[in-house]
Amino acid sequence: MPVERSYLDWNATAPMRPQAQEALREALAVSGNPSSVHAEGRAARGLVERAREQVAALVGAQSSNVFFTSGGTEANMLALTPAIETAGERRPRGRLLMSAIEHPSVRAGGRFSREMAEDIPVMADGRVDLAALAVAVGKASRPLVSLMLANNETGVVQPVAEAAAIVHAAGGLLHVDAVQGPGRIPCNIGNLSADLLTLSAHKIGGPKGVGAIVRRSEDIHFPDPLIRGGGQERGIRAGTENVAGIAGFGAAAEAARGQFSGEAVHMKALRDVLESGLKAISQSAVIFGETAERLPNTTLFTVEGIKAETAIIALDLDGVAASSGAACSSGKVQPSHVLAAMGVPPALLHGAVRVSLGWATTQADVEYFLDAWRKVASGLSKKEQGIAA
């Protein structure tokens, strides 16, 4: 079946699931404010609380431990504060330890000062160095540690449960940015032994601009909200709730949970086709993090001589939406901090192309990409031979 465009940038954002679109449309018709006591208000409250249960079920939490935010960025910012408290421990946390490959919304350090934050290195395969983590938590008193579940660029899955054991033994707390995980790999807050978990709706097929911070137990308190006011979200996040967005998030969470095993197998099978096709076209292709466990939908690769920006533009013109491993800030393409942390040589830092798949990706999408890549690769080899491409 011919496809007009092949969307392979699901780690940037996923198309909205039909169930989320439906829930969002229905919620837009509910006129009440969830804080109002009348019937209209109660209807809106009902939507928010149903979504809270759906999101809680996605990660095996209790619904009373889910707090809605404007997205993953805000959830990270809310969690990363020295003021975070556990029952019986009201002293501020003196140190933030975070892996060197965290998303910029964690790397910014939340409300810790730069001097209070310390990086934990990763190994060449993209996994956090647990020995280095053990040394760092041993030196810090009651640190807050932030480690992502899976990296958004490489897809490499982090040893979160092992890290949690190290962190807890040292009296620390573990925050896990799980934004890229649900619907792709198991993501149960209890099994991960995470104290706090960040989620974002738009990565699982919900709307953009809504997310959640989830806590393991009611023993964890946020005495330092980012937004104060009317006391919504039990005082942790003031402001009238984004009812439609939250309802869409809930529906996406339920669909992602219900369809998880089938979708994960589907993505992995197509990703395998993509990677073997890629290697057949470009024998020198290097797939970053290939030896580690990765998300079933993500491939970050480079080929000698390739410039990511040029390849992404060529792919786009050919109908393929992919992205580069480099983050673009203020119009300037920066080398990936993730690859730099993995010790990738500078010559390869500028060449990374990320292809990320989703539940609706088809074999035709993958073939479309491979056809487009063949053209990029033949342009490259012509250049190598000194022939104008």
Residues within the interface to ligand PLP (CB under 6 A): 71-73, 103, 105, 148, 152, 177, 179-180, 200, 211
Pairing status of strand 96-99 against strand 144-146: parallel
* Termini Cα distance of the chain: 30
> What's the one-letter identity of residue 360?
A
CB of 73 to ligand PLP, least distance (A): 3
**Do the beta carbons of residue 140 and residue 92 sit within 8 Å?**
no
Chain residue whose CB lies nearest ligand PLP: 72
Q: Which residues contact 14 (CB under 8 A, 6 or more apart)?
A: 202, 203, 204, 205, 358
CB of 105 to ligand PLP, least distance (A): 5
Q: How far apart are CA 299 and CA 273, in angstroms?
A: 11
Q: How far apart are CA 386 and CA 382, in angstroms?
A: 6
CB of 124 to ligand PLP, least distance (A): 21
- Residue 328 is a catalytic residue: yes
Q: How far apart are CA 115 and CA 111, in angstroms?
A: 11
- Residue 177 or 365: which CB sits closer to ligand PLP? 177
CB of 202 to ligand PLP, least distance (A): 6
- Residue 104 or 231: which CB sits closer to ligand PLP? 104
CB of 180 to ligand PLP, least distance (A): 5
- Residue 32 or 211: which CB sits closer to ligand PLP? 211
Q: What angle do CA 174, 156, 161 make, to 5 degrees?
A: 30
> What's the one-letter identity of residue 47?
L
CB of 200 to ligand PLP, least distance (A): 3
- Choose, from 37, 135, 328, 347, the residue flagged as catalytic: 328
Active site residues: 328
